[in-house]
Amino acid sequence: MARGGGRKWRNGSSRGGHGGATGGGGGDGKRGRAFRRDFGKGENVWKRPRTDAAATDGPEGEKPQGENKSWAGFQLDSPAFEEYYKRQHIIADDEWDSFMATLKKTLPTTFRINGHGDFAHQIREQMQKDFFDFLPEDVEVDGEKFEAPRPLPWYPDNLAWHMSVSRNQLRKLDILENIHEFLKRENDAGNITRQEAVSMVPPLFLDVQPHHRVLDMCAAPGSKTAQLLEMLHAGDASATPQGFVVANDNDVQRCHLLIHQTKRMSSPSIMVTNHDAQNFPLLRRRGRGGAGDDGLMFDRILCDVPCSGDGTLRKAPDIWRKWTVGSGNGLHRLQLQIALRGLALLRVGGILVYSTCSLNPIEDEAVVAQLLRVYGDSLELLDVSAQLPELKRRPGLTKWLVLDKKRWYSNYSQVLPISASRLTPTMFPNPNAPAGTSAEPHVADEVAAKVAEGDGEGASLEGISREAETIEEGVAIDGAEADKEGQVEGGVVDEGGEGENAGVDSGKGKGRWREQVVPEAEECGLPLHRSMRVVPHDQDTGGFFVAVFRKLKHLEEPVDDGERKRNRGRGRGRGGRGQADGPRDQDAPEDQPVEETEPVEAENGGTETEAPETEAATAIREEDDAGDGLATDGTGVEEGLEQGLEQGLGAEVDGSAVEAGGPEAEPLEMEDAPPATEEVPRGEELAAEEGGGAGPSGGQNQGSGPRHGVRRIQQQGRWRGVDPVLELDNKEVLDSLGSYYGFKEEFAYQTQLITRSDDMATCKRIYYVSKSLLDILRLNNANGNPIKITSVGTKMFERQTVKDASVSCAYRIVLEGLPFALPYITRQIVYPDAEDFHMFLSKRSVPLTGFKDPELVQALQQAQSGCVIMAMRRAAGENTPRDAPPAAVACWRGANSINVLVTKADVLCMLDRLGFSHTSEGPSDAADPAADTIATTEPVEEAPAVAVEEEALERAEAAPSDVAVAGMAV
């Protein structure tokens, strides 16, 4: 569907990236002068550190370079971490010190300019022109030279930037403070996103095109989702993309961060869902199979899994203290389950990127290796070394060790009973190696050899540690005897019993715990070097791991029976809830018709359904002949996970795996909280807050045609408390919108508007969704709504409670949705020239007669009271159609005046983009709204509300370790 010049004019500049830019503007230098005035304070601010306490970090030399004050009190080392990673050889010995030193420095500030094309380039140019070009060479912060900001060389179009200073340091010099203010303002308006450099990498390898269906499986807080959306919208600027992005997270709170982040993108092509990714539903169509029509399968999947997060030590230093080897081991299973589910949902030919912000091979290469084993020649680990050539990366490891309970293993066959429930074969380079192939060398022999070589107790990392002492004290050396004070369990003497840390030689408890000969790591034999690890000291970043896969075909061949049986026994032995059975080809070829679940009319009037079964559920059902009470619709699921489980994952399916079979979800309010000043119709408030009960209201809904995609509020059952996703088909509302705004016929408002309230006649918010997402909503509905949707599309209209009875349409157009409606509006729209528009934005409230252009005054006087769109005219001679103005803004026309209906921050950014002068304080506050007939004083969130959310966003981004710990299975 065409969207006219939406991409060009960028409704008020804000709401981020893709969606239309203010365009034009810039270049006249006026705005730049306004900003530069702030710098002219008659002194060299570049060298003047602030004298307040925040300006000093304490004496140099007492902290690692770059460490800031906020790190005071943090432990910045971990012997366990060092021992572990040295042993894994993720870094060569001669680089170790540099690696560790970088890890102890704070992370530089990096940010990304949202969007693409003209709009993004304008921001970049403005930023350089007004700020960076003015930086003298000799700026110092905290006694260190301030390096000029530079674009990240590997990020396309110079749209991602690096500043050597931390965010705290940005506040220490006035001139940097101005940059900080600019970044903050643009961030609030959604034009810039602070994001760690390495976190920007995975989406780039997905090569998202506008027609792609994209799934972001673990998406919150959403910085990568934002990138995916930008790529989706990067095609024909005048069209809504054919594809869409589904952003999922299993944490309801974090879903709200995700909604906030994606809302800034103003996209009708985004859906936020709330599922355990390992159980993400697979939707099928009945009788409509065929190339290009395979239900809800995806062309691109980002699998940025929960992880132990030790690649983020530089921004989350508490990870030093918390670091244990158990974090990575404990997450491996979940990571594998999620990745396998991702592959099951991927179309043939599609690309899946697996990524973590952990350096740990158990979370990284071991997962990748198992995916390759399960999929065999159905999956290719892509060699992407030629892509992003400027990005320094290291090839993935091809061998590694597994550590548990202070004991190193190279092969699962060595695993002692004490660790058998904590480790799985899939963690090892060779999960299927028969027992004994890599038996541990006899310690006594090794000790003898080392002693003979003159090596002794000092050889703590490369072989034997402290054997001399252990022998002296008569400690068991081949697992048969007990230490005097230690305990024997399965032949291992463990000092603390529960200690998890690597601590091969912790220096404590001399002679109290048994040492082992560390086995040689085994080669995996798979092309894992094609995966990549970004390490901090290569380019002053955090650490990250990325692997890029292409699915070549659907799985067909069952895994080896013997192997399945062997592992099935193991699963039972461990009390697993279920066991995967042999593989089935659930991932039907594109041309194969598939069955669709029939929704069952539930007693409460809502729709209840038998959910499409997840593979985990299948695993349970098929292991347990009684079916474990789980519903299945027989649509089948990819056997990937089952095989993964069979091949040693252990076949235990944790409680969460059952969820897709029908858990009762936490009540979830689906829409953003209404602005405090707005009046919420009572019926709708109830619907949102109480999760049900607000049925169609009396006669108001009469006259509506049959609803499509109806999903009434669930009073019980799977998504209890979740607002419905309903296609707006209330004739009165649609007619009122159509006649008030004079929408052209080609505008799909008749079919592509969605509400989340059962009471359509008075629904508070109306959302606009792309055609392709609408198809998915309908498919979801036809399948009984297995997908739990927390938000969809972009808000386009909001109900306005007004005192003035002459206002004939209760719905105003909101900032996010305006770009999509603008090309089709023929009424209630006026066209000021640049001068009047500039004046209006600066004042934010102007009498109807207060404009210089008499035609504009006349048009305003003739407009109805209520929402009016001000669309700036191009300069004379510019031959641009009226429906593609350089900027437009929604306003409220009262009896005597017209008021802008966007935040001050948004107006400021719009002025910036248009090259209009303003003070850094921005436009004045709107005139007293009481003077007019608008019922709300500030209809959109003002900066404080946004700032709070931003803070939460930052916290969420900075705390992956918490996420990981919370998500740990053990």
Ligand X SMILES: C[S@@+](CC[C@H](N)C(=O)[O-])C[C@H]1O[C@@H](n2cnc3c(N)ncnc32)[C@H](O)[C@@H]1O
Residues with catalytic function = 357
**Using rule CB under 6 A, residue 251 touches ligand X:** yes
160 or 963, CB closer to ligand X? 963
What gap in Å lies between CA 216 and CA 269, rounded to an integer? 13
810 or 963, CB closer to ligand X? 963
**Using rule CB under 6 A, residue 219 touches ligand X:** yes
Using CB under 6 A, which of the segments 247-255, 285-293, 595-603, 851-859 binds ligand X? Answer: 247-255
**Minimum CB distance to ligand X, residue 193 (Å):** 10
Phi, psi of 404 (to 5 degrees): -155, 140
Using CB under 6 A, which of the segments 115-123, 274-282, 442-450, 792-800 binds ligand X? Answer: 274-282
Please report, for residues 82, 227, 605, 631, 753, the alpha-carbon distance to residue 512 in angstroms, rounded to integers and kept in the order given: 22, 52, 67, 53, 70
**Minimum CB distance to ligand X, residue 102 (Å):** 21
**Using rule CB under 6 A, residue 729 touches ligand X:** no
Site string for ligand X, 140-179 (x = CB under 6 A): ----------------------------------------
Characterize the bridge pairing of strands 402-404 and 407-409.
Answer: antiparallel
Using CB under 6 A, which of the segments 250-258, 440-448, 779-787, 844-852 binds ligand X? Answer: 250-258
**Using rule CB under 6 A, residue 295 touches ligand X:** no
Phi-psi region at 12: left, alpha or beta (left = phi > 0; alpha = psi -120 to 50)? left
**Using rule CB under 6 A, residue 341 touches ligand X:** no
Using CB under 6 A, which of the segments 273-281, 317-325, 743-751, 877-885 binds ligand X? Answer: 273-281
**Using rule CB under 6 A, residue 960 touches ligand X:** yes
Characterize the bridge pairing of strands 753-755 and 726-727.
Answer: antiparallel
Nearest Cα residue to 278 out of 642, 666, 667: 642
Token pair listed for 781: 């509905």
**Using rule CB under 6 A, residue 199 touches ligand X:** yes
Q: Is residue 441 part of an annotated ligand binding site?
A: no
Nearest Cα residue to 423 out of 592, 614, 648, 140: 648
**Minimum CB distance to ligand X, residue 498 (Å):** 25
Strand partners of residue 532: 395, 546
352 or 829, CB closer to ligand X? 352
105 or 112, CB closer to ligand X? 112
Task: Pick from 4, 19, 190, 221 the residue near ligand X by CB under 6 A.
Answer: 221
Q: For 449-483, what is the HEC assignment?
A: HHHHCCCCCCCCCCCCCCHHHHHHCCCCCCCCCCC
**Using rule CB under 6 A, residue 304 touches ligand X:** yes
Q: What share of the chain is helix, strand, coil (3-state, %, to 5)?
A: 35, 15, 50
**Using rule CB under 6 A, residue 543 touches ligand X:** no
**Using rule CB under 6 A, residue 249 touches ligand X:** yes
Question: Any alpha helices (H) in 189-251, and if so which ranges?
Answer: 201-204, 223-232
Size of the site for ligand X (CB under 6 A): 21
Using CB under 6 A, which of the segments 270-278, 663-671, 704-712, 787-795 binds ligand X? Answer: 270-278
- Which DSSP state fits 649? I
**Minimum CB distance to ligand X, residue 448 (Å):** 47
Phi, psi of 866 (to 5 degrees): 130, -155
35 or 323, CB closer to ligand X? 323
Strand partners of residue 248: 273
Site string for ligand X, 101-140 (x = CB under 6 A): ----------------------------------------
541 or 701, CB closer to ligand X? 541
**Minimum CB distance to ligand X, residue 637 (Å):** 16
User: What's the Rg (C-alpha) of the chain?
Assistant: 30
Task: Pick from 201, 220, 346, 423 the residue near ligand X by CB under 6 A.
Answer: 220
Q: Is the CB of residue 607 less than 8 Å from the CB of residue 600? A: yes
**Minimum CB distance to ligand X, residue 654 (Å):** 10
**Using rule CB under 6 A, residue 683 touches ligand X:** no
| Three-class secondary structure of residue 265 per DSSP | coil
3 or 260, CB closer to ligand X? 260
Residue nearest to ligand X (CB): 218
**Minimum CB distance to ligand X, residue 280 (Å):** 8
**Minimum CB distance to ligand X, residue 425 (Å):** 22
**Using rule CB under 6 A, residue 16 touches ligand X:** no
**Minimum CB distance to ligand X, residue 306 (Å):** 4
Taken in order 825, 830, 833, 838, the sign of the CA dihedral is negative
Task: Pick from 184, 224, 407, 764 the residue near ligand X by CB under 6 A.
Answer: 224
**Using rule CB under 6 A, residue 223 touches ligand X:** yes
Please report, for residues 39, 168, 215, 632, the alpha-carbon distance to residue 299 in angstroms, rounded to integers and kept in the order given: 49, 41, 8, 25
Q: Is residue 220 part of an annotated ligand binding site?
A: yes
276 or 467, CB closer to ligand X? 276
902 or 964, CB closer to ligand X? 964
**Minimum CB distance to ligand X, residue 828 (Å):** 39
**Using rule CB under 6 A, residue 330 touches ligand X:** no
**Using rule CB under 6 A, residue 222 touches ligand X:** yes
**Using rule CB under 6 A, residue 276 touches ligand X:** yes
Nearest Cα residue to 410 out of 435, 434, 440, 432: 440
Query: Cβ atoms within 10 A of the Cβ of 58, count?
Result: 11
Residue 349 C-beta-side C-alpha neighbours within 13 Å? 7
**Using rule CB under 6 A, residue 218 touches ligand X:** yes
Question: Any alpha helices (H) in 163-243, and if so which ranges?
Answer: 167-170, 174-188, 201-204, 223-232
Q: Residue 340 burial by CB count (10 A; 0-12/13-18/19+): exposed, middle or buried?
A: buried
What gap in Å lies between CA 323 and CA 303, rounded to an integer? 23
Using CB under 6 A, which of the segments 213-221, 379-387, 637-645, 663-671 binds ligand X? Answer: 213-221
216 or 500, CB closer to ligand X? 216
Q: 221: cis peptide before it, omega within 30°?
A: yes
Number of H helices, E strands in the chain: 29, 34
Q: Is the CB of residue 516 less than 8 Å from the CB of residue 503? A: no
End-to-end CA distance of the chain: 49
Q: Is the CB of residue 303 less than 8 Å from the CB of residue 338? A: yes
Nearest Cα residue to 860 out of 821, 818, 892, 901: 892
**Using rule CB under 6 A, residue 313 touches ligand X:** no
**Using rule CB under 6 A, residue 311 touches ligand X:** no
Task: Pick from 306, 503, 583, 885 the residue near ligand X by CB under 6 A.
Answer: 306
Q: Is the CB of residue 650 less than 8 Å from the CB of residue 579? A: no
Token pair listed for 735: 């007619």
Q: Is residue 221 part of an annotated ligand binding site?
A: yes
**Using rule CB under 6 A, residue 403 touches ligand X:** no
306 or 536, CB closer to ligand X? 306
Characterize the bridge pairing of strands 726-727 and 765-768.
Answer: unpaired
**Minimum CB distance to ligand X, residue 877 (Å):** 45
**Using rule CB under 6 A, residue 285 touches ligand X:** no
**Minimum CB distance to ligand X, residue 110 (Å):** 14
Helix (H) or strand (E) holding 889: strand 888-893
Using CB under 6 A, which of the segments 221-229, 439-447, 572-580, 834-842 binds ligand X? Answer: 221-229
Q: CA triplet 940, 943, 948: central angle to 5 degrees?
A: 110
Query: Cβ atoms within 10 A of the Cβ of 858, count?
Result: 14
**Using rule CB under 6 A, residue 963 touches ligand X:** yes
Binding site members for S-adenosyl-L-methionine: 218-224, 249, 276, 304
Give residues in contact with ligand X (CB under 6 A).
Answer: 199, 218-224, 249-251, 254, 276-278, 304, 306, 334, 960, 963, 967
Binding site members: 218-224, 249, 276, 304
